[in-house]
Amino acid sequence: MAGKSGWKRVGRWLLFIVLGLLALVVGLIVLLRFVNPPTTAFMLADQIQHPERRQVQNWVSLERISPWMPLAVIASEDQRFLQHWGLDIDAIASAVQQYREGEGLRGASTISQQTAKNLFLWNGRQMVRKGLEAGLTLGLEALWSKRRIMEVYLNIAEFGDGVYGVEAASRRFFGIGASQLNASQAARLAAVLPNPKVYNAVQPSSYVWQRVDWITRQMRQLGGPAMVREMTQAP
């Protein structure tokens, strides 16, 4: 009987710990809905790996970002961003199937997933990390607006070695503020997001130019200015 009682106490403590961690994460997500994060898990990890690299980030509100920029990343990264609730179930199912077949765990992440990963997690394709990412993504979608998700994403995404956020990227690569980006420049920044340490927005390779052309076409097909207005006016 004593043994059973001891296991029950351990179980209760584990439950309290799990609930406490859950409450902490929910509280942090709620806080970051209103407070701009001073840094991210991704930025901290990169700084530890490359202490000699100077990181540059200049936070700006969505109102101070050219409306072509959210349109460009939607066209490039997540064309159903305004419709889905954070997870692309079909892409997840495909990625899990490929993992079971012995391939690396991969699959296109939504903008919401990328925001959750950059804010809270580490790089990698482990099942545990992907599971945490999914849970955090649902938390963001439940507690933030699409507008806030986009604002945070554009301010923490890496656009080059040590260059975080669209304002720093715009000034580094084009010599202008993010509010002045035109459609072509926004497409060039969006084109490097899959691998900003390899792709270059200033001197694009032929592959990056191909991506720029494709993104520009997608921006037009999505509705151009009409999609921009929907994004910037979303609550």
Q: Kindly report, residue by residue over 118-135, the tens digit of the pLDDT.
A: 999 877 666 777 888 888
Residues 6+ apart with CB under 8 A from 140: 29, 86, 112, 115, 116, 149
* Cα gap 178→69, rounded to integer Å: 8
Q: Which has more confidence, 185 or 83? A: 185
Distances from the Cα of 104 to the Cαs of 94, 99, 116, 125, 196, in angstroms?
Answer: 12, 6, 21, 7, 21
Task: Let me know if domain 36-49+56-233 sits in CATH 1.10.3810.10.
Answer: yes
Indicate left, alpha or beta for 224 from its phi (over 0: left) and psi (-120 to 50: alpha).
left
Write the pLDDT tens digit of every residue in 8-40. Answer: 677 677 776 767 777 777 778 889 899 999 999
Q: How far is CA 172 from the centre of its chain?
A: 21
Mean pLDDT of 57-82: 93
